[in-house]
Chains A and B, each alone.
Chain A
């Protein structure tokens, strides 16, 4: 069974439909990168998967369970699909360790000591073993985003959704975040990554989806979609963002 499955998704804000009939699925251990121009609906799609937005048509299932923002199961579902945001969204009043431990302790009600130990290990794993007690404001953007990734991992999710995780970072900090994501991919984490980092997509993704104007225009392995795009819209987009 696919971990994430979208069938004929339609999503409107008011009367404006921004996602038109999008279908795709993500298998266990797969890394799927979503590329596309700004405003094409990439964030909205991720937010629908995580139940942060409602959708008007079609169905989204996680492990076969329907994502329905109105249902009481949505909270449990969100604990299984973690999200990493463009602007990190760390809790500023809590330390790195507390940010990571918050969900497992207060939402999943796991034993405190065990969670704290695991959270320390996770922070060490993303290279922040020395910053455990730092507050977000004391960390660089790259460090904050790595804490956010550790926070996602702390939930022991089945999949992680990344919404342009490096777009808010200074260029010199992008590499450290991509390196962590790459290592997650190597360890078999299921990931959906919205990104403009074509190098990352090319090397790490199993599949690339190109979204334009709310339509899934093209989909396939990275060397096909990125190197030999079939659709003129994909060709046009890649020509604009890739230095030739």
Chain B
């Protein structure tokens, strides 16, 4: 234990460089997955058959491919097609795409949880699709979707370690490199685990708090 504590100051700065990339990849992928997920979800509930069908197909395909393969594809295959990305860019785009179906399902279940009577009331006062979504459906859907949305972020934070497979020296890879050069496996991987927990536990706690708040609010 004393050994562990005495080593922390030495290794922490190096691991923090990994934390920076972990957060960058997580946030970037989260934003992209949210945007794509919203697009898929809106296409699915649009009531326009070709759009709904296209979104469903995309979701099935993306879901059926392991995230790690999506990353490989974007990082190693796209350059052959003339589009090269940095490892971090590829990680953000790959994880963003890989996570978009989960986001889409989160949003869609939120939207579909809204009572049909709400839509009818909105239409009956002359609202069009845009107002209906913006003023009636989305504000209510957010309450339903927020808790699973938060859990998805925690999952994404952990899965950002997949970026290590395409050479992004995020926290897990940084730890592995450090461990293999120092042989301080126990100390370093304990630190890595604790740092992941330090990031995910507050998020989880925040989600729980949000969920309780939303349940109380009407």
B114, closest chain A residue (CB) = A92
User: Which of chain B's residues has its CB closest to A151's CB?
Assistant: B125
Q: Mark B120-162, 1 if CB is under 8 A from A, else 0.
A: 1111111110010001100110010000000000000000000
Contact A85 B120 (CB under 8 A): yes
B3: A residues at CB distance < 8 A: none
Is B118 located at the chain interface by the 8 A CB criterion?
yes
Stretch with Cβ within 8 A of B (4 or more), from A17-25, A100-108, A121-129, A209-217? A100-108
State whether A87 and B117 are in contact (beta carbons under 8 Å apart), knowing that A92-B140, A93-B218 are contacts in the complex. Answer: yes
Asked whether, in the complex, the Cβ of B125 is within 8 Å of the Cβ of A91, the reply is no
Chain A nearest CB from B34 CB (Å) reads 21
Kindly count the residue-residue contacts between A and B in the assembled complex, taking CB atoms under 8 Å apart: 58
Taking a contact as CB atoms under 8 Å apart, the answer to whether A78 and B121 are in contact is no
Q: B124 and A107: CB pair below 8 A?
A: no
Number of interface residues of B (CB under 8 A): 19
- The answer to whether B123 and A78 touch across the interface, beta carbons within 8 angstroms, is yes
8 Å CB contact of A75 from B120, B126, B135 = B126
Q: Which residue of B lies closest to A108 (CB)?
A: B126
Pairwise interchain contact A91-B117, C-beta atoms closer than 8 A: no
Whole-angstrom distance between the alpha carbons of A50 and B127 in the complex? 13
Main SS class of interface, B: helix
Chain A interface main SS type: loop
Q: Which residue of B lies closest to A103 (CB)?
A: B125
Chain A, interface residues (CB within 8 Å), range: 20 to 34
Find chain B residues with CB under 8 A from A90 CB. Answer: 121
Chain A residues whose C-beta falls within 8 Å of the C-beta of B136 in the assembled complex: 91
Residues of chain A within 8 A of B120, CB atoms compared: 52, 83, 85, 89
A85 contact from B117, B127, B135, Cβ within 8 A: B117
A82–B122 alpha-carbon span in the complex (Å)? 11
Closest Cβ neighbor of A87 among chain B residues: B117
A79 B121 Cβ-Cβ under 8 A: no
Mask, A196-216, CB within 8 Å of B = 1, is 000000000000000000000
Residues on A with C-beta less than 8 A from B140 are 92-93
- For B118, give the chain A residue with the smallest CB separation: A89
The contact of B126 among A85, A87, A107, A151, by CB within 8 Å, is A107
Closest 3 CB pairs of A and B: A103-B125, A79-B126, A89-B121
Q: Other CB < 8 Å A-B pairs besides A93-B139, A93-B143, A106-B127, 14 of them?
A: A52-B124, A75-B126, A85-B120, A91-B121, A91-B122, A91-B136, A92-B140, A93-B140, A102-B125, A103-B127, A106-B131, A107-B125, A107-B131, A108-B126
